[in-house]
Structure 1
């Protein structure tokens, strides 16, 4: 199918009257859409809560372990003659 044939086929499709919409379709779509939005909002809140818990856990660990402090030496320096 070349370009003019494709254009003619698309024009024929667009000139037809659209099929009738079932009567309860709009209410069903709105119900499903609102449920989907609620689930997304809940998932987003749970992810933010998990991120906050991870940040708090990291802050507590860092305060207790203090990884930025140099660990104490495990050996003593050699004693020279006095």
Structure 2
């Protein structure tokens, strides 16, 4: 039995016997599911907000510090006999 045949057999079994869920359990499941979706949406937005804040902070830091510029020399060579 290959994968397509197994999937077809599983679909036939699921279509033949509809799941029976009590009404009060269905309401509880819907409530919990909507709460999970809301939490995931808030978490996703928070992650995007933190990512954007990190990018802005990095750009501001790079503009101020300019790490690509070579720092000026701290010492000068000694002057001897012109």
Name 1:42's counterpart in structure 2.
42
How far, CA to CA, are the matches of 2:32 and 2:20 in structure 1?
21
Name 1:53's counterpart in structure 2.
53
Q: Alpha-carbon deviation of 1:58?
A: 0.7
How far, CA to CA, are the matches of 1:20 and 1:37 in structure 2?
24
Q: Name the TM-score, length of structure 2 as normaliser.
A: 0.70
| RMSD across aligned positions (CA) | 1.9
Q: Which runs of no fewer than 5 residues in structure 1 stay unpaired?
A: 1-16
Q: Which runs of no fewer than 5 residues in structure 2 stay unpaired?
A: 1-16
Aligned length in residues: 66
- Over alpha carbons, which structure has the higher Rg? 1
How far, CA to CA, are the matches of 1:43 and 1:66 in structure 2?
33
Could you say what secondary structure the match of 2:22 adopts?
coil
How far, CA to CA, are the matches of 2:73 and 2:36 in structure 1?
58
Q: 1:79 to 1:63 in 2, by over 3 A?
A: same
Question: Post-superposition, which runs of at least 4 consecutive aligned residues in structure 1 deviate over 2 A?
Answer: 17-23
Name 1:64's counterpart in structure 2.
64
